[in-house]
A and B are shown apart, each in its own frame.
Chain A
Amino acid sequence: MITLSFDLILDFLLTVLSISLFICFVRLYIGPNPPNRTVAFDTIAIHAVALIVLFAMRSDAPSLLDAAIITAILGFVGTMMLARYMEHAELQDWETDKD
């Protein structure tokens, strides 16, 4: 008999969120060109924020929420950096995405 506790439901939600993060990593791997990988990177950064918050709830450590704020800011800065790089890089020999 399984007791449906708060921590068990939170573990289930963490598992679902990890599967979602893995799907984003699949998109990051198969590309097929840098704009798609940038979209995947942005989503991975948002997933990291949500995972840190859920882990702070799971382990009753409210000080980890500051780490979530820093992760959100760093994800935004990284996404902007990749976008500006793509704009000025003039890489014309990318593969087109036909899949």
Chain B
Amino acid sequence: MESGSFTAGEVTALVFIAIGVAFMLISSIGILRLPDVYSRMHAAGKATTVGVSFVLLGAGIYFWEQHLFARMVLLIVLIFATSPIATSAMARAAYRTSATRRLHLKRDEIEGETP
């Protein structure tokens, strides 16, 4: 297997995208394998945000000549602003409605309060 010719921007973009795709694959395996809904949310909320940010950084470096890096940074800021909101809303809904907390949580710090 011989290597073709790469520019420095292409190599940097591929390294960033490979890191991001690895994060997203690990996150998906965590969503499939972890035992309850809160730990699945932990896997989804952290690793997927970091993974897609690395993918978008790599794409911004690849599209550097077309002046699209600022658009990718805008998308990263959008995802970093919206993903914690979505994850906390999901966690609050799961805590309020489902019966999983009586099965899985050994220590419930906000029991009795209204979260």
**Residue positions of A touching B, CB distance < 8 A:** 1-6, 9-10, 13, 16-17, 19-21, 23-24, 26-27, 33, 35-36, 38-40, 42-43, 46-47, 49-50, 53-54, 56-57, 62, 65, 68-69, 72-73, 76, 79-80, 82-84, 86-87, 89-92, 94, 96-99
Contacts and interface: CB of A to CB of B under 8 A. Distances in A.
Interface string B91-115: 0111011111001000000000000
Contacts of B1: 1-4
Contacts of A13: 14, 17-18, 21
**Interface residue SS majority, chain A:** helix
B40 A39 contact: yes
A3 to B, nearest CB: 5
Interface in B20-43: 20-21, 24-25, 27-29, 31-32, 35-37, 40-41
Interface residues of B, number: 58
